[in-house]
Structure 1
Amino acid sequence: MHKLQSDKHAIFINPDRTPAGGHIQIVIRRRNNSLQSIPDTHRLYDALQYPLIFWKGQDGYCINLKQRDPVTGTETNKNISSKDFYSFRLMIRRGQDNIILRCRELCQQFMVDMYVKIESERLRYLRFNQQKLRAEEYIHLRDAIASNADTAEIGNSVILPSSYIGSPRHMQEYIQDAMDIIWIIWTTLLFYYFYM
């Protein structure tokens, strides 16, 4: 525990104790003695999680960061994704020293944590944009409701599209592609065997 004398804040960072989700939790004790959890989408999360790398308290990724027009430099109405932000931050530039890349094992841990943050952002988007993805039109949900299944068992399911790598639909597409390749090879071999 480290107490800041000037503003009477106490910052607790305990990497050995993780919450139920398995992510690192950063909690700040406010002046009125209440505890406040800092979400991974907060702009100061990176500086609090990696004080050795961001010792000046540099801002990290925030959901509301806007893209800039490369020609004029003015802000656009599009947000920057966490993937683009951390790709930019880890980029090697000629003539500039990147402190993150010089931190060896800490750099590797930073990259893994930021990858988890990127995947969490993608999963949050899929969870809160099910209507845009037309998840209600998927067949297995209609089948579960039509077969008089208990609505408590259906729950609040989140449908992962096939574009999400590792999702059941993505793996099903791989299986179908593999079966198509086997079918093409098999028919080609049969053609050569009987007609050549």
Structure 2
Amino acid sequence: MFHEHNELIRRFEIALDRMPTDNHRIVIRADKRPVGDDARRFNAPAFDSNDVAIVIVGAQFEPRDIVLKRRNDILHRISETHRSYDALQYPILFPYGEDGYHFNIKMKNPTTGVDVIKKVSAMNYYGNRLMLRENEDNYIVKGRHLFHQFVVDMYAKIETERLNYIRFNQQKLRCDEYILKSKFCE
């Protein structure tokens, strides 16, 4: 089914067919243990748990991008905000390789259906994707543990987007720039 319907799988197959030799590797997730860390860092937990969680710690938070190695040995990053990130990270939940969240999705006026100047946030996009609707099957919600992992991962994406907005818009957010000054700005 993936080979027939998923556009991303077809692109991988075309890339494999164009390889001049069979001496190649496809690295889906390239996790390396940093030098000096404990060798048991990536051991499976010793307890039985069905919980899914993510821990984000200040400046130590590294991007969760997908890294693809091209034929010329150059690494290509697919950012977590790239339209293909969701389908590459969760191919079972997105079997057709459909686009996921990206920054250029415009909001629509619900009454007229016309595009508005504002853009859709990650929170609005995933809230809409996860919504249960009458007479409509939401196959993402039926993913059980993979669904849980997806929700945690997307929540981390939402929080990253919020923190990046604050980080990159400090001039707009400065208290003395507001027209109505509160007692905290004085």
Q: TM-score range by the shorter chain?
A: 0.5 to 0.7
**Aligned partners of 1:15 and 1:24 also within 8 Å:** no
* 1:12 match: 27
Q: 1:92 to 1:5 in 2, by over 3 A?
A: closer
Q: Say which of 150, 154, 159 aligns to 1:110.
A: 150
How far the C-alpha of 1:30 sits from its partner, in A, is 3.0
RMSD: 2.7
* 2:168 match: 128
Q: 1:119 to 1:15 in 2, by over 3 A?
A: farther
SS of equivalent residue, structure 2 residue 116: strand
Q: Which runs of 4+ in 1 moved over 4 A?
A: 15-20
Aligned residues: 136
**Aligned partners of 1:42 and 1:61 also within 8 Å:** yes
Partner letter of residue 28 of structure 2? Answer: I
> Which digits, 9 at most, give the CA deviation of each residue in 1:47-92, with x for residues without a partner?
1110110111111100111001112212111100100000000000
Corresponding position: 1:81 with 2:121: yes
Q: Which has the larger radius of gyration?
A: 1
Output the TM-score relative to the length of structure 2. 0.64
Map 1:4-43 onto structure 2 (within 5 A): 4-8=12-16, 11-14=26-29, 17=32, 21-43=61-83
Partner letter of residue 71 of structure 1? Answer: T
How far the C-alpha of 1:27 sits from its partner, in A, is 1.0
Determine the C-alpha separation between the residues in 2 that align with 1:78 and 1:111: 25
**Aligned partners of 2:64 and 2:80 also within 8 Å:** no
Q: Flag the structure with higher helix content.
A: 1
Q: 1:22 to 1:97 in 2, by over 3 A?
A: same
Q: 1:73 to 1:31 in 2, by over 3 A?
A: farther
* Identity score, percent: 48
> Which digits, 9 at most, give the CA deviation of each residue in 1:103-152, with x for residues without a partner?
00111111100000000000000001111111689xxxxxxxxxxxxxxx
* 1:96 match: 136
SS of equivalent residue, structure 2 residue 118: strand
Extract unaligned runs of 5+ from structure 2.
1-8, 20-24, 35-59, 178-186
Determine the C-alpha separation between the residues in 1 that align with 2:67 and 2:175: 36
SS of equivalent residue, structure 2 residue 77: strand
Determine the C-alpha separation between the residues in 2 that align with 1:91 and 1:114: 14
Determine the C-alpha separation between the residues in 2 that align with 1:111 and 1:17: 25
Output the TM-score relative to the length of structure 1. 0.61
SS of equivalent residue, structure 1 residue 77: strand
Determine the C-alpha separation between the residues in 2 that align with 1:4 and 1:90: 28
* 1:143 match: none
Q: 1:92 to 1:17 in 2, by over 3 A?
A: farther
